Amino acid sequence: MLARGGHEVVFLARGKNLEALRTVGLTIESIDGNFRVPATATETLVGWPSVDCVLVTAKSYDTTKIARLIAPVITPATVVLSLQNGVENEAVLAAELDLPPLLGAMTHVAAELVAPGVVRHTGEGEIFFGEITGHESPRSHTLAAMFASAGVAHRASHDILVRLWNKLAWNAAHNAVTALTRSTAGQAATHPTAGPLIRDAMHEVGAVARARGIPLDSDRVEDTMAFSREHLRDLRTSMLQDVERGGRLEHEALNGAVVRLGTAASVPTPINRVLYDLLGALDSALRSPQD
């Protein structure tokens, strides 16, 4: 969208994806209409000029590595925006890049890399962003103007921490259970035993958030469950997609974060602990050489 809107965009990529971007560009198969854009793509940013904005969309386990890869083009004025799963990426990026606290950001857009250079967009979503402190800032205005110029759905938020933790609650519960049961979000939420497990896992995340001073509404859990049952029947979560292709799982950034932060806040998280341990075993099996 940014490239189509006239912005100069550079994709940091590798392997077959890099090759496809360089040769045929980026192909979007979207519910809003298919399109293709020429893509400037590279596997290194050494020697490149500084940039105004970086959108970090890598898996959370690669955050430290990504920070080191983008470091050559970062200045104190660069807006670095994490659109990743989890609530710890901003702190990792800021520390690695020697930057002040970053904007918080999240999105619910449903998309999947289905082939090198080909993204399938199956569900609408907005990008939410805002200062962790809740106040407005010049960089949030700059970001809003950039997204608006390209027709990217976005919303500046004064409660981005609440949004990030609500997303963590959804992800830690739905991603984990769908990955372990090989079911869609709606199927898992509807199941007589998996559904209550999702609900309990979400309530644990809410308890950890509230212990950290982040006012998550416990009543929201039932609304979320109802939405999953009614509208997410076919949604394959990102972790389910990872399982299906034998990739690495993001359990450290999701259930692992809930367990770690719960321990630090003296909040018990037994459901997320079990999910974390099971996902760790599954992750090891997926990435072990097959007999």
Alpha helices by DSSP H, listed for 48-111, are 63-70, 89-97
Q: Which tens digits make up the pLDDT trace of 185-240?
A: 999 999 999 999 999 999 999 999 999 999 999 999 999 999 999 999 999 999 99
Q: Which tens digits make up the pLDDT trace of 69-87?
A: 999 999 999 999 999 999 9
Residue ranges and CATH numbers for the domains of the chain are 10-158 (3.40.50.720), 161-286 (1.10.1040.10)
pLDDT along the chain (291 residues), means of 10: 94 96 96 93 97 96 97 97 96 97 93 93 91 94 96 95 97 98 98 98 98 96 97 93 94 98 98 98 83 38
Q: What is the pLDDT of residue 289?
A: 61
What are the two backbone dihedrals, phi and then psi, of residue 166, each rounded to the nearest 5 degrees?
-65, -40
Provide the b/e sequence for 7-25 (b: ≥16 CB within 10 Å): eebbbbbeeebbebbbeeb
pTM of this prediction exceeds 0.75: yes
